[in-house]
């Protein structure tokens, strides 16, 4: 019998978690903590997991950053190529399926124990029925459109619980929150997840490291300045 090669499973892969997104008054808020881990080791505490793909699309990553960042680059170039050759934006359905295909093509590596990615995709559909659109995926590329919120990564169970509570029993549903209120909810969710999940960075009070938060709306993508996030954290969370 010919011996089969196996992956060196004793080498821990770098992983990036946790990400969340939800619809609010101003569009879709997408947030990600900054921690990347390999096994029980913190590799990096300033990882960017919320990536701009085009003027109205954001891909947030949970999983192996090397694979996810390469997928983001491929998507970005695909969207640019379509826009320049067809003289129009790719449809939202086309964008969503393009990410699905990348995940399906990567599934062979997932089965070998390497390269798993479970992203969130947020965009604004400016077609006949303008609206913010939000999707999450599984490792095989199946996409699921959500009406309210999504979260993936190792800290996502705690995050989903908080978002469910806020959406159903908070002062008002997520979709009616102002931008500052939405930032408050995102910070509380990630900070809570960090209490029970060591792979989630939450808010590092000593080093003053805050999650990356972006908003996608009709006007495009806005990155919230760290000073503003820190002010909201000090006022409403800490």
Domain 14-236 of CATH type 3.60.20.10: yes
When comparing pLDDT for 61 and 16, which is higher?
A: 61
Tokens (6 digits) for 112: 């070998």
Judging by DSSP bridges, how do beta strands 57-60 and 120-125 pair with one another? antiparallel
Give the single-character DSSP code of 16. Answer: E
Measure the CA–CA gap between 186 and 191, rounded to whole angstroms. Answer: 9
Tokens 């939000």 belong to 134
For residue 17, pLDDT over 90 is answered with no
Q: pLDDT by residue (tens digit) across 191-227?
A: 999 999 999 999 999 999 999 999 999 999 999 999 9
Q: What share of the chain is helix, strand, coil (3-state, %, to 5)?
A: 35, 25, 35
Q: pLDDT by residue (tens digit) across 18-57?
A: 999 999 999 999 999 999 998 889 999 999 999 999 999 9
| Omega prior to 82 cis, within 30 of 0 | no
pLDDT tier at 9 (50, 70, 90 boundaries)?
low
What b/e readout covers 47-71, taking b as 16+ CB neighbours within 10 angstroms?
bebbbbbbebbbbbbbbbbebbbeb
For residue 1, pLDDT over 50 is answered with no
Q: What residue ranges do the domains of the chain occupy?
A: 14-236
17 flagged as catalytic:
yes
What are the C-alpha distances in Å from 199 to residues 5, 34, 213?
30, 10, 18
Close Cβ partners of 165 (under 8 Å, ≥ 6 residues apart): none
Measure the CA–CA gap between 152 and 159, rounded to whole angstroms. Answer: 9
Is residue 52 within 8 A of residue 32, CB to CB? The reply is: no
Measure the CA–CA gap between 223 and 91, rounded to whole angstroms. Answer: 24
Strand partners, 123: 57, 133
Tell me what pLDDT residue 39 has.
84
3-state secondary structure of 161: helix
> Choosing from 2, 9, 14, 17, which is the catalytic residue?
17
CA-based torsion, 180, 183, 187, 188: positive or negative: positive
Measure the CA–CA gap between 126 and 124, rounded to whole angstroms. Answer: 6
What b/e readout covers 203-236, taking b as 16+ CB neighbours within 10 angstroms?
beeeeebbbbbbbbbeeebeebeeeebeebbeee
């Amino acid at each position: 019998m010919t011996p089969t090669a196996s992956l060196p499973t004793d080498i821990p892969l770098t992983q990036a978690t946790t990400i969340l997104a939800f619809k609010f008054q101003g569009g879709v808020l997408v947030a990600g903590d900054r921690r990347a881990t390999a096994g029980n080791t913190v590799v990096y505490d300033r990882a960017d997991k919320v990536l701009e793909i085009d003027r109205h699309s954001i891909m947030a990553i949970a999983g192996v950053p090397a694979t996810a960042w390469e997928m983001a680059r491929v998507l970005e170039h695909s969207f640019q190529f379509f826009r320049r050759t067809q003289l129009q934006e790719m449809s939202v359905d086309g964008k969503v399926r393009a990410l699905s295909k990348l995940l399906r093509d990567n599934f062979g590596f997932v089965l070998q124990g390497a390269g798993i990615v479970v992203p969130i995709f947020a965009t604004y559909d400016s077609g006949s029925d303008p609206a913010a659109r939000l999707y999450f995926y599984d490792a095989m590329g199946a996409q699921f459109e959500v009406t309210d919120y999504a979260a993936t990564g190792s800290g996502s169970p705690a995050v989903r619980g908080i978002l469910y509570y806020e959406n159903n029993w908070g002062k008002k549903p997520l979709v009616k929150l102002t931008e500052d209120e939405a930032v408050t909810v995102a910070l509380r969710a990630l900070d809570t997840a960090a209490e029970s999940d060591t792979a989630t960075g939450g808010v590092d009070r000593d080093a003053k490291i805050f999650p990356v938060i972006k908003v996608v709306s009709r006007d495009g993508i806005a990155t919230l300045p760290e000073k503003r996030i820190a002010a909201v954290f000090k006022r409403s969370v800490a």
